[in-house]
Chains A and B, each alone.
Chain A
Amino acid sequence: MLDQAHAAFIQRRVSILVGSCNADGVPSLARAYGCRVPPDRSSVTVFLALPQSEALLRDLRASGAIAVVFSRPSTHETLQFKGSVQRISPVDADDRPVMQAYGRSFAEEIAPLGFDESFQDAIMAPVEHEGVAVTFAPLAAFVQTPGPSAGRPLGHGS
């Protein structure tokens, strides 16, 4: 499902948005602050900031259904993964440096697009907030880069 190039793509310089929904069909949505992929690439872990993800976490716990979009601002290259949640746990000491490195890479990414330092600091401030790690097994992946191939599924085993 997740090849090496995609695994590298989703861990740096991308905007990460996580979605789910409740039993009444109300979608929930929050930004994630970094992502970790284990060497076997069988799962993906995204880091959420607790205070701004309450509804999302409630829905992830209840339904297990998750959608995550990774998009690189400078190129609009975008991937969406859908899957089911395997584990939700507090961010641990190993995760924090991953989040901080991600935050720096994202700030670097958006600096040339006209967002100044105070904006970069503000948008990545939750990297230091109380965090939650959500691990999911990707079951489907789609190219969402705007253009003719938008919506195309990434082939299984690709």
Chain B
Amino acid sequence: MLTPSAIRRCFEGAVPAVIATCSPDGTPNVAYLSQVHYLDDRHVALTFQFFNTTRRNILANPLATVQVVDPETAAHFRLYLRYLRTETEGPLFEHMKAKLAGIASHTGMSKVFHLLGSDVYEVLQVEHVFGAAPDPGTSRPDLLPRLRACMADLGVCGDLAHLFDETLGALARHCGIGYSMLLMHDPTHERLYTVASRGYPESGVGWEVRVGDGIIGVAGCERAPIRIGYTAQAYVYGRAMREGFAHGPDADALESEIPFPGLSNPGSQLAVPLALGNRLLGVLYVESRESRRFTYEDEDALVVLAGQLALTIELLAHSAELHAELPSKVPVVPVRGLPVEVRHYAADHSVFVGPDYLIKGVAGAILWKLLRDYAHHGRSEFTNRELRLDRSLRLPDISDNLEARLILLQRRLAERCPFIAITRTGRGRFRLEVGRPLQLVEAPAS
């Protein structure tokens, strides 16, 4: 028997679907549908956007017939459906809302299309009406071996920094996905911060977004993948959105100095949460200039990869704190040049090197502790474990990924400050390297 999964390509919104319903007195009604959303082989969801005849009819008579068209072969399929319920919040609703925003801006309907609910229907029967036989395959039928190659690359990573870069590298090498970002979750402040990116002029490491904002934030908040096939202005991280997020100089303010590194006008976006059970670890985000670049099958593949990635992150993050290896010998960098002032603002732990902003938040607090220990006690060797135990840092609990914070700090230093570096000297252990004399200044509280 034909099932919805065999015709998922018809649900991408390229050719609008049509729904027939009828009233209790037997008057038929035909209307266009913005979106048919695949749930599983027995259920689909349809957008509920207007209080119209279709709506009145299905509440009175739950039977509906939907015709969809394959965007490549023009084959027609009919779905015989029975209305079950309407969802107005949660992962399904948010995914359909995001997808609808893409379809709306693609069709010039941004001011008209708003999702009121996701109507869930039971699929009673799928009928092949005419045209080519269903082709569940994708334009990239070798996705499974590509996924396998990605997983193999992840498997050999011994530390988090390597894992982050290899994940994005593997997606580029094996799946042809050139624009990607990896963000980790800060559960204390409910935000996601960028630890790696690929394909952009600026790395954007340190860029933050609140859980719930834009496609990345919504995927994180709902623990659900969100895929948009067209440029969706409401989900693009533009300047306006960034400015909208700025909340002033308190400890809770979002990082606003580091701009979003991604495409300003992506044709396709896909955000996949990294989660263990319901615990959010981060979000993997990919995008493309092309419309409809990511298919249902790409979404399947990235969800599988994200599962493996989440497990590996968890494993590596904890092992770094539990087992500190003995430090390896690293040549000491000579200190030379004129002294430079490093200023710390306690309110939000922002750190400036000379006049230039470097970092803030937890990573800023960590850097300040390291610099003080270096300046006052001559220390340069540190372990992840001692940072975790240091109460002055007031680190978030163990669910916070300390190793990811260190990677963020290490990368910001590498990009912005040529004379301060963090170098790995073994698992769970690192060295602070300072190449110029520093003058540490604690800025007075305002």
Interface positions of A (Cβ within 8 A of B): 17-21, 23-31, 49, 51-52, 63, 65-69, 71, 76, 78, 80, 82, 119, 122-123, 125-126, 144, 146-147, 150-151
Contact = CB atoms under 8 A, between A and B. Distances in A.
B30 A68 contact: yes
B67 A67 contact: no
B29 interface: yes
Given A80-B30, A122-B75, 8 more contacts: A19-B22, A27-B64, A29-B65, A31-B76, A65-B28, A69-B32, A82-B27, A126-B130
B107 A76 contact: yes
Contact of A25 (B19, B63, B74, B107): B63
Given A28-B65, A122-B73, A126-B130, A146 B109 contact: yes
Contacts of A21: 20, 22, 26, 28
Contacts of A67: 20, 27-30
Contact of A76 (B19, B21, B69, B109): B109
A27 B32 contact: no
Contacts of B65: 19, 26-29
Contacts of A71: 32
Interface string B75-116: 110101000000000000000000000000001110011000
Nearest to A71: B32
Contacts of A18: 30
Given A119-B72, A150-B50, A27 B20 contact: yes
Contacts of A78: 32
Contacts of B29: 19, 67, 80, 82
Contacts of B18: 17, 29, 69
Q: 10 tightest A-B contacts by CB?
A: A122-B74, A27-B20, A19-B20, A21-B22, A123-B74, A29-B20, A19-B30, A67-B28, A27-B65, A19-B28
B58 to A, nearest CB: 10
Say which size band chain B's interface belongs to. Answer: 35 or more
Contacts of A24: 63
B129 A52 contact: yes
18 contacts: A17-B18, A19-B28, A19-B65, A25-B22, A27-B22, A52-B76, A52-B129, A65-B28, A66-B28, A76-B109, A78-B32, A80-B29, A119-B73, A122-B73, A125-B130, A146-B112, A151-B50, A151-B53
Contacts of B130: 49, 51-52, 125-126
B114 to A, nearest CB: 11
B139 interface: no
Interface in B25-54: 26-32, 50, 52-53
A147 B114 CA distance: 11
Contacts of B73: 119, 122
Contacts of B112: 146-147
A113 to B, nearest CB: 9
Nearest to B60: A25
Contacts of B20: 17, 19-21, 27-29, 67
Interface string B227-264: 00000000000000000000000000000000000000
A67 B72 CA distance: 28
Contacts of A126: 130
